[in-house]
Structures are given as structure tokens and as C-alpha cells.
Amino acid sequence: MNRVILVFFLFFNIVYGDSELQDWSGARVDEVYQGKEDIYKLACEKNNNEACFTLGLINLQNYAQNNKDKTSLKNSIYYLDNACKQNHEQSCVALGLLYFSTSFEKRDENLGLYYLDKSCKIGNVSACLNLAKYYEDEKHSDIQKTINYLNIACDKKNNEACSYAGILYHDGRNTGVDYTKAIFYYKKSISIEPSISSNYLNIFEINLVENKVFDKKIETTFLNKFKKDKQSMMFYDMLKIFQSAKLNKKYNLSLWKNKYKNMNLNDWDFGTIDKWIETTKDDKIKIKLLKIVNEFKNIKHLN
């Protein structure tokens, strides 16, 4: 069975697997129905989008399990499209994923994009994130659309979208490096979900390579939240060593090594710091920074 369709069924079983069915049709409680599907049809006819959505999934299941029954497929698309037209975001997502499915005989990326785009604009952040990833891919590269979809999700309080937009501008992935925008998105992500340390650390790295002191407000919040998180503090203390070296202040790399012995540096990408060191004009400080970064890279390599 196609993986995408299987996901629909798992969702269907979770949401609609109750032994008792809510009477969405608006009919009298004592009215007799032949089965659950009859209730859904009556409810759907009365413009109940949840019922139309359920009928869409039922027919999609029949299509997948009964040798790709054409009538079931036609009915599934009809019901899902009917609900999607009424701005039912899950129906739009279902159609989008269906048309993207590689095993779907009527696969149509343009229709898939249309339905995912509609769902995103209605408010489904997972559709926005999927579209952002789609347009970031080399085959369909359109960084402006990637950013636009991330913005929609970020504005809807999705911290992952905000963080990812920050990373794109931080690394300059087809956007050009823009640290001001990167910090804007990292801070927005923090305001939504303050318990993810990487956003703070990314801001500190930008402060470092812009030769600025760490943002005091962000730093205070970080230390209050993560002072007992050894992994986060390891990266923070590493950045402070770079900062001290750049300012020609004392630092103790041996103490850092002892404190964080056998810990993992694999999550850290030194690309931004490497570029920063290259731009350092003072040769003595540059040599010092190169020595430090090589020490950290050797630790990363050993781990």
C-alpha cells in the first residue's frame, strides 16, 4: 500500500475509530440508518465538512484495498474536494498528498501544490512546511517561495518555521547571508517556544562573528533556562572562548576540555566561524583563533 495513503488510514483510525458515531446529520436521534456511512452522507449534504472529509477517507481506503476501484477514487476526490472548497484544511492536505503520491496513477504535482497551498493559507502549518521544503529542493528551487511559506507558518506561531527561516539567512542558503533577518526569526522562535537552546546559541554565534557582545537579555534568559543543560552550556562556553580570544582576553581551553570531556560536538557546524576567522585582520589573533577552531574540530572528529 502506498505510504501516503497508509498515513491517511492511520489518521482515520485515530480520529474516527470510536464505537459510537456523533450524529452530524442533524437528523432526529431515533431516525434509523443502515450504517455509519449513511449518516456521513446526510451530514455532508448538509455541508458538514468533517463528514465529507470522513467519506473521502473511507472511499480512499476502499480504493487502496479493493484493487484501485475507480468509483471509490472518484468518490474520494469528490468528497475531499467538496470539503476543501469550504476551507476544510485537512481535506486540502489529503488531496495535496494524494496528488503527490508516486504510486497514484493520476499523480499531478501541480494539483498537489494547489491543494497544499490552499491548506497552508487556511492555516495548516504542516502544509506550509512541506511546501517550503519542496521549493528549497534543488529541482524546484525557489527561495522566495520557501521564505514565503515559512513566513506564513511562523506568523501562525510555528517555532520550527521561524527557526528554519533564521537558519536560511544565517547560512545564506540561496538567500545571501543576512544576520539581521536571522536574528529576527530566531527571536521570534524563542518568543513562541523558549525552551530550545539552539536558537539562543545561533544568536550568540552571530553576535560573535559580528564582533559584538552577546545580547544581554537573550544571554540572561539562556543562562536561567539552560545552566543545568551541559550540552547547551558546552556550546555556549565554546563561543565564549572564541570571543575572549578575539578580544585578546584570557581563556582556558584545557579547563573546557576537562569540563566537557567525552561530550559530543557533532551538532556544531563551524562554517560561519571559519568565514569569520578568515576576515580577521590582526594576524596574531587570527593564528590564535585558527588554533582554537582546529582544537574543537579535532574533538568533533574524535567523537
Q: Report the pLDDT value the prediction gives residue 278, as an integer from 0 to 100.
A: 96
Most confident of 4-8, 13-17, 45-49, 164-168: 164-168
Q: Which residues of 13-32 are buried (b: 16+ CB within 10 A; e: fewer)?
A: eeebeeeeeeebbeeeeeee
Give 138-174 pLDDT, tens digit per residue. 787 899 999 999 999 999 999 999 999 999 999 998 8
| CA 94 to mean position of chain CA atoms | 19
How far apart are the C-alpha atoms of 156 and 175, rounded to whole Å?
22
Q: Report the pLDDT value the prediction gives residue 191, as an integer from 0 to 100.
A: 98
How much of the chain, in percent, has pLDDT values that exceed 90?
Answer: 65
Domain boundaries, the chain: 1-106, 202-303
Q: Which of 35-49, 70-84, 139-153 has the lowest mean pLDDT?
A: 35-49
Neighbours of 72 (CB within 10 A): 18
Give 86-137 pLDDT, tens digit per residue. 999 999 999 998 898 877 778 899 999 999 999 999 999 999 999 999 998 8
Question: Are the CB atoms for 9 and 61 separated by under 8 Å?
Answer: yes
The arithmetic mean of pLDDT across residues 261-269, rounded, is 89
Question: Are the CB atoms for 93 and 119 separated by under 8 Å?
Answer: yes
Q: Report the pLDDT value the prediction gives residue 42, as an integer from 0 to 100.
A: 86
Residue 21 clears pLDDT 80, i.e. is over it:
no
Residue 27 clears pLDDT 70, i.e. is over it:
no
Average pLDDT, the chain: 86
Q: Is the pTM higher than 0.75?
A: yes
Question: Are the CB atoms for 98 and 84 separated by under 8 Å?
Answer: no
- What is the pLDDT confidence band of residue 301, given thresholds at 50, 70 and 90? low
How much of the chain, in percent, has pLDDT values that exceed 70?
Answer: 87
Residue 20 clears pLDDT 70, i.e. is over it:
no
Question: Mind giving me the DSSP string for the chain?
Answer: --HHHHHHHHHHHHHH--SS---TT---TT---SSHHHHHHHHHHTT-HHHHHHHHHHHHHHHHHTT--HHHHHHHHHHHHHHHHTT-HHHHHHHHHHHH-TT-TT--HHHHHHHHHHHHHHT-HHHHHHHHHHHHSGGG--HHHHHHHHHHHHHTT-HHHHHHHHHHHHHTTTT---HHHHHHHHHHHHHH-TT-HHHHHHHHHHHHHTT----HHHHHHHHHHHTT-HHHHHHHHHHHHHHHHHTT----HHHHHHHTTT---TT---HHHHHHHHT---HHHHHHHHHHHHHHHHHHHH-
- What is the pLDDT confidence band of residue 190, given thresholds at 50, 70 and 90? very high
How far apart are the C-alpha atoms of 296 and 253, rounded to whole Å?
9
Q: Report the pLDDT value the prediction gives residue 277, as an integer from 0 to 100.
A: 97
Q: Report the pLDDT value the prediction gives residue 32, as an integer from 0 to 100.
A: 39
